[in-house]
Structure 1
């Protein structure tokens, strides 16, 4: 696959693919990158809420490990949500999930640390079951060669988020239609059962979809934009 490296300002490559084809393409490309690098790689999988990036990132890690066992690790941006108690204190609960409700500087610093670490490093995750951060959710072993970094705001150029993109050796933006995202988010929130349908709808319109729109504006900073073929 012909792409520019993550530091290029050139127009990104654009592809329209079914999910399984996207997974196959990325797996092959990352394995090629890893074979030619002596350093630990950070691969960014970005996209708006409900775009399917978390699922793709997890499947990608599984595929890489199937070829080269214990070679990949998942690093989720969501582990750097502000704690719910902090959001309550700041009066930001209604906007949970927006860029300013994350510890963006901490995430950028953690990514730099974990990319260059020679020892095992544990990182935080996020649980939708409790709607809060979980410490030590995963551990990146010293022999890991590829970090699959996943999150909404990897490509933003504002504030602390600007420190993320330069650390990515390759970045992918997952593009999914807005109405598809709305439907997925409604289903996701309903399945968790933590809040009423009215609250879920209000949160999606007030926070999730504006975040989707914001993230969509950053897609041209990716090396590769994959539009998921929703006809299949």
Structure 2
């Protein structure tokens, strides 16, 4: 399954599930990493979680979610570096640590715990998830999985299959405004400024990496 395909989110998942199951069968016990990449606000976190649920419905316990967001730098570190206004940009992540963690996960024979990210506190939460020893498919999701620069450059080689999720920029902007306002941590003016200064440039950067995916899904989604 290659090229650019225009589908609804449920149709995308319906395409991916049998493809991944076939890959798993052919892997003969080797652990696979399936990447879902895309800019902020494209819905990839929700889709990745749904993909894990669907894979587990067919083969219980076979899939696990591995979010890149847990490798944000700690907020205190970002503030100390004077980068709070650019939180979420590639250089505010522990990219090398993420690549190393994924490399370890692919070869691990026992349970491995990893960090997550809480939007409620806008910070990293240690040991937010655990990948069990018998998991065969890692569903890895994040903005920067396909970037060819810096510490991110090594991630693509660790992905056995990579899908890129595209959603129109205007819709992404509206989604991000809702997302930033959900927890009520900041004013709407601050959120609009942050999105314009940081999130949308990150979206534009991530879009330049779409050609490194095995397949691009241009999603048909409601406003």
| TM-score of the aligned structures, taking structure 2 as reference length | 0.98
**Match for residue 29 of structure 1?**
19
The answer to whether 1:186 aligns with 2:198 is no
**Match for residue 165 of structure 2?**
174
Written as runs of structure 1 = structure 2, the 5 A alignment for 1:1-232 is 2-3=1-2, 13-38=3-28, 39-230=30-221
**Match for residue 6 of structure 1?**
none
Whole-Å separation in 2 of the counterparts to 1:77 and 1:42: 13
Deviation, structure 1 residue 191: 1.1
Deviations 1:91-133 (A, max 9, x none): 0000000000000000000000011000100000000000000
> Which ranges in structure 2 are unaligned for 5 or more consecutive residues?
none
Q: 1:231 to 1:86 in 2, by over 3 A?
A: closer
Give 3-state SS (helix, strand or coil) of 1:36's partner.
Answer: helix
Deviation, structure 1 residue 192: 1.6
Whole-Å separation in 1 of the counterparts to 2:185 and 2:148: 33
> Which ranges in structure 1 are unaligned for 5 or more consecutive residues?
4-12
Whole-Å separation in 2 of the counterparts to 1:231 and 1:64: 25
Divergent runs of 4+, >6 A: none
RMSD: 0.9
Which segment is superposed worse, 43-52 or 30-39? Answer: 30-39
Give 3-state SS (helix, strand or coil) of 1:142's partner.
Answer: coil
